[in-house]
Amino acid sequence: MSNATQISVTASGNVATDFTTDDAKTTSPVGNILIVSADDTIQNNDSGVRTIGGDDGMSGRPAANEIRVEITNRLQGITTVEFDVATTGDIITFGLGGTAAVYRIEFDVVGIETTTGLGVGYSVDATARTNGTVAVIIQTPNKDADEDLDDANNNDDSLGDANMDVIADSNNIILRATGVAGTIISYSAVGIYVRVLTP
């Protein structure tokens, strides 16, 4: 997701012409043009939003006259998986890093069966901790599931046996789908998290 707009800045009186971003970069208009763009990032920030700016030669940084407003703590993933009875597919894998911490993660997931058009939707919440080496799910994740049963047509291709879970593997948290025999489900997921480190 990226959006940009241009702001024309003309210095007169006490109008600011230098702007300091959250990452302590100073961004200045070039030719009276200041670009303000938007994006999202996996990077952690307690407020959920940050500004970055000032090209310092690093790849992925905004231009010298650009301020990027970022929604932080975002996780995204897509996958299409052909399932057998016990087959699973990982949608998002999130590494918890090398410092002891506790995370609260919320995922919204939608899926469509590519042949029938039947759908599934999930909200999954989980709390995990890490000692910096190994991740652990603290309790069974909360899940709200909407699974298309296609009862009106008495169709055997219903998705009532599909499942979504959050598991720990090594030092990662994984959003994992379990499918239904004979189906192909295409998934898209967005997650947000909050984190606290050991003081």
Per-position b or e across 102-131, b if 16+ CB within 10 A of its CB: bbebbbebebbbeebebebebebebbbbbe
Give me the CATH number covering residue 166: 2.60.40
pLDDT beyond 70 at 110: yes
Residues 190, 166 share a domain:
yes
Q: Which residue is listed with tokens 């879970």?
A: 165
pLDDT single digits (tens) 143-196: 988 887 765 544 445 787 788 999 999 999 999 998 888 888 889 999 999 999
Residues 97, 14 share a domain:
no
pLDDT beyond 60 at 136: yes
DSSP result, 148-164: ---GGGT-TT--TT-EE
Question: Residue 61 gets which letter from DSSP?
Answer: P
Residues 187, 107 share a domain:
yes
Residues 147, 163 share a domain:
yes
Q: What pLDDT does 12 receive?
A: 56
- Give Dmax (Cα) for the chain: 73
Of 19, 48, 71, the residue that ends a domain is 71
Residues 10, 26 share a domain:
yes
pLDDT single digits (tens) 38-71: 888 888 888 888 888 876 556 667 778 888 898 8
- The residues, any chain, with a CB within 8 Å of residue 156's CB and separated by 6 or more, are none
Cα–Cα nearest to 119, from 186, 190, 189: 186
- The residues, any chain, with a CB within 8 Å of residue 32's CB and separated by 6 or more, are 8, 9, 10
Residues 112, 161 share a domain:
yes
Q: What pLDDT does 102 receive?
A: 97
Q: Look at the chain and report how many structural domains it folds into.
A: 2
pLDDT single digits (tens) 9-26: 555 555 577 888 888 888
d(CA 182, CA 161): 12
> Domain containing 49: what range?
3-71
Q: Which residue is listed with tokens 């042949």?
A: 115
Q: What pLDDT does 182 receive?
A: 81
